[in-house]
Amino acid sequence: MPEKAGSAAHPKGLYVLFATEMWERFNYYGMRAVLVLFMTKALMFDKVFASNLYGSYTGLIYLTPLLGGYVADRYWGNKRSILAGGIVMAIGEFILFFCGMLYSSNPDLSALLFFSGLGFMIAGNGFFKPNISSLVGQLYAKGDKKTDAAYTIFYMGINVGGAIGPFVCGLVGDTGNPADFKWAFLAGGIGMLLSVITLKLLHNKYVVDPQGKTLGLTPANVPQKFYQPVAMIVGLLLFSLVTIGLIYADAKIFSYLFYLLIACILLIAYIVFSDKSLNSIEKKRVVVIFVVSFFVIFFWSAFEQAGASLTFFAEEQTQRDLGFYLVPTSFFQSLNSIFVVTLAPLFAWLWVKMGRREPASPAKMAMGLFLLALGYLWIAFGVKDVQPGVKVSMIWLTGMYAMHTSGELCLSPIGLSLVNKLAPVKFASLLMAVWFTANAFANKLAGVLSALYPDGKTTYVAGFAITNLYDFFMMFVVMAGIASAILFVLASKLKKMME
């Protein structure tokens, strides 16, 4: 029996989706925690190449949901898309496991497997990611006040997985012996299978609307040929081959991804603004979406150093030896999720407590950028005048992650909610695509900025020399600080445009 819409308890379907997403995030963040370490210590890529490849991978991770969401809406339905995407991601992890087994005995085959594993992860994520969160809201009747709380519970699921993944994968894979990285990929693959099995066994019974009708099934009037197993397998295989080619081309042949992302944003802008049915108020709101999406690029490109340059810093210049135990580098990537789980209730309480004095969404996002800059200022002071090779206390990284998470809580859920509220109904999905494309751009940029990491060399950005870690971290202070100040200035104007 489905839960009644007005009852106090949340539907059991929420916890099915919670567990499905939790295991997927376990897989993604666990794998991400060891990715640049595997590239630099096992595959022996240099830091510049590893950073750029990391940026290409995470950038494409945010781009493929545009296609996966489209296919699910029109042909496959949410459930089938999530299961298919999850299986493809698990295959990606198992391919990386074999890559980790063969890197020393057969480097050429290992390199092929590495790009193939990443391609499968990107393709699978495209079908998994956009479809699961859209089911959460459908569990509730329109106007049910529990919907906001449901998304908070779901967000906790994401971060429970994000906290456990790097911890478990780091424990089995980040041991100091490069031959053990394969166990991290195997653990991620097993987590992904648990995600798929959870949904497969429990979806039809529990993921239902308030009337008891199963959600996320095949859309009406879709010809059967589109979702026959053979057609789906061939389609997913072809898409995976395309994503393997995309990441290989961006890393090895020509870095085209920035141009592709800019073209996507310009095309969406043209489609929306050339539509004659939109009135001036709607167009102003769309402008606000584009402006805030532009500013999130500065946030995520600095924040996403976690999986790249900050991993190098944790590995080489953070004192991780507790005397009785050497803390694995990958453990630090659990901190963000741990801080989200602990700080999210505080921020939710704070916004309610402020009442009428609660800042407008653009001002909250400017605060997020300011807290990000503050985090980098904290760690910059931690490394000031410290010689290369000298290790600093874990308190610097830990404090920085606490500030970055506070910034994330001011910016990420607020921005996502703002896009949902402001987008005209007919362009809701397309304008959500702007948000994800901006995230993709930021992740690619994160890899490019990580490549400036001062590894005994001097690099230049906008004419300024980066010779040491202090210079490197101050680059993010200046970048995020200026973006924050401009957004604070624009906040009142944007608030008026939102009407």
User: Residue 241: which residues within 8 A CB-CB, separation 6 or more?
Assistant: 119
| Inter-residue contact 302 to 375 (CB < 8 Å) | no
The pLDDT > 90 percentage for the chain reads: 62
For the stretch 367-384, pLDDT in tens is 999 999 999 999 999 999
Check if 1-254 and 256-499 are the same fold. Answer: yes
Distance CA 303, CA 406 (A): 11
CA-to-CA dists, residue 370 to 291, 377, 443, angstroms: 17, 10, 19
Distance CA 191, CA 187 (A): 6
Cα 456-459-461 angle, rounded to 5 deg: 155
Question: 3-state SS of the chain?
Answer: CCCCCCCCCCCHHHHHHHHHHHHHHHHHHHHHHHHHHHHHHCCCCCHHHHHHHHHHHHHHHHHCHHHHHHHHHHHHCHHHHHHHHHHHHHHHHHHHHHHHHHCCCCHHHHHHHHHHHHHHHHHHHHHHHHHHHHHHHHCCCCCCCHHHHHHHHHHHHHHHHHHHHHHHHHHHHCCCCHHHHHHHHHHHHHHHHHHHHHHHHHHHHHCECCCCCECCCCCCCCCHHHCCHHHHHHHHHHHHHHHHHHHHHHHHHCCCHHHHHHHHHHHHHHHHHCCCCCCHHHHHHHHHHHHHHHHHHHHHHHHHHHHCHHHHHHHHHECCECCCCECCHHHHHHHHHHHHHHHHHHHHHHHHHHHHHCCCHHHHHHHHHHHHHHHHHHHHHHHCCCCCCCCECHHHHHHHHHHHHHHHHHHHHHHHHHHHHHCCHHHHHHHHHHHHHHHHHHHHHHHHHHCCCCCCCCEEECCEEECCHHHHHHHHHHHHHHHHHHHHHHHHHHHHHHC
For the stretch 260-304, pLDDT in tens is 999 989 998 898 888 888 888 888 999 999 999 999 999 999 999
For residue 366, pLDDT beyond 90: yes
| Inter-residue contact 222 to 409 (CB < 8 Å) | no
pLDDT for 3: 46
For residue 428, pLDDT beyond 80: no
β-pair partners for 321: 326
CA-to-CA dists, residue 140 to 77, 134, 154, 207, angstroms: 19, 12, 14, 11
Distance CA 132, CA 451 (A): 34
Per-range mean pLDDT, top range of 62-71, 397-406, 423-432 = 397-406
| Inter-residue contact 138 to 209 (CB < 8 Å) | yes
Per-range mean pLDDT, top range of 66-70, 145-149, 333-337 = 333-337
For residue 148, pLDDT beyond 80: no
For the stretch 441-492, pLDDT in tens is 999 999 999 999 998 888 888 888 899 999 999 999 999 999 999 999 998 8
For residue 194, pLDDT beyond 50: yes
Band of pLDDT at residue 1, cut at 50, 70 and 90? very low
Read off the tokens for 220.
């009406």
Band of pLDDT at residue 323, cut at 50, 70 and 90? confident
Distance CA 235, CA 133 (A): 23
pLDDT for 259: 94
Does the domain at 256-499 match CATH 1.20.1250.20? Answer given as yes
pTM of the model: 0.90
Q: Where exactly are the structural domains of the chain?
A: 1-254, 256-499
Nearest of 40, 263, 5, 24 to residue 121 by alpha carbon:
24
For residue 39, pLDDT beyond 70: yes
Nearest of 217, 252, 216, 201 to residue 52 by alpha carbon:
252
Give the mean model confidence (pLDDT) for residues 313-318.
93
Residue type, 482: I
pLDDT for 8: 62
Give the mean model confidence (pLDDT) for residues 176-182.
94
Residue type, 73: D
Distance CA 455, CA 457 (A): 5
Q: Which residue has the higher pLDDT, 416 or 299?
A: 299
The pLDDT > 70 percentage for the chain reads: 98
* Exposure b/e, 242-277, CB count within 10 A at least 16 = b: ebbebbbebbeeebebbebbeebbeebeeebeeeee
CA-to-CA dists, residue 314 to 33, 54, 70, 349, angstroms: 11, 17, 39, 33
At the fourth CATH level, the homologous superfamily of domain 1-254 is MFS general substrate transporter like domains (1.20.1250.20)
Distance CA 422, CA 416 (A): 10
For the stretch 24-36, pLDDT in tens is 999 999 999 999 9
For residue 140, pLDDT beyond 90: no
